[in-house]
A = this chain, B = another copy of it.
Amino acid sequence: MVEPLFKRLVIIGIGLIGSSIARGAKAFGGIAGTLVICDSNPAALARAAELGLGDAYEASAAQAVAGADGVILCTPVGTYAALAQTIAPHLAPGCVLSDVGSTKQSVLRDVEPLVPANAVFVPAHPIAGTEFSGPDAGLADLFKGRWSLLTPPAGTAEAAVVKIETMWKILGAQTARMDAAHHDRVIAIVSHLPHLIAFTICGTADDLADETRGEVLQFAASGFRDFTRIAASDPVMWRDIFLNNKDALLEMFSRFSEDAQAMARAVRWGDADYIEDKINRSRKIRKSLIDIKQA
């Protein structure tokens, strides 16, 4: 019998991503000997137990990580600093600590300095999700064909990085390694800014006069429905992401604002060629996305 990657793996936070990892670990095997689910929310933890997502359930993160050789933080990134402080004294020698946060510079800032010298921190970010939240929302194949990006700082023990890469490959993802700052810029334009825009435009519509708002909902065309699908995502998770990727997000927002103002100006002054050219560029990007089979 082949040894699992981790003898005792702890998932802290049993939301969409945490419960997808747990489901994948059960479905595909080879990841965890004992899978421990930990969540500070009693309702979420009880539901995880009802669903049979793990082998053991633990409300206290400090107790959960004791004796574990693998720990994955799956809570909103705003909780990481306090959580790292709580678990650090209890991490076993040789433990591989990882996470799934969408902002990697903040994670290195908040977690890495607290990790004991005999444990290894391997930050990771699976680029996958749906608009649903909580332990019921997880899917065993959520990561299938998607990317998981690892941002280990220079000098991170190679064996630990390979362990986390292997876990993501078992879950069906492709992996890549990159610098945390670079990661944060790429994800700001690909994911964080689109979410900021989607959240905003829903509010803009909601602020219109009551009569118009009713009709906005009634007549919502496909454009708006796609936007609101994005906008249904978890509020605390996204609040934390915005606050923890501030610099890259604000830079991308600034670039976008300039471009949107230029488009609005072309509309005002009837610059048909400019508008058509920009739309044609968008189509090409869409085509590239389809060509590389991410669409």
Contact = CB atoms under 8 A, between A and B. Distances in A.
Interface of A: 127-131, 147, 149, 176, 182, 185-187, 189-208, 212, 215-233, 235-236, 238-239, 242-243, 246, 249-250, 252-253, 255-257, 259-261, 263-264, 267-268, 270, 272, 275-276, 278-289, 292, 294-295
22 contacts: A127-B221, A129-B221, A147-B218, A189-B208, A189-B216, A191-B221, A193-B201, A194-B201, A199-B279, A200-B259, A202-B281, A203-B281, A206-B285, A217-B292, A217-B294, A225-B295, A226-B230, A233-B279, A239-B276, A243-B275, A250-B267, A250-B268
Contacts of A287: 232
Contacts of A257: 257, 260-261
Given A182-B212, A200-B278, A243-B275, 19 more contacts: A149-B219, A186-B212, A186-B215, A186-B219, A189-B204, A189-B216, A189-B224, A191-B224, A196-B260, A197-B260, A206-B284, A217-B285, A225-B289, A228-B285, A228-B289, A231-B286, A235-B283, A239-B275, A239-B279
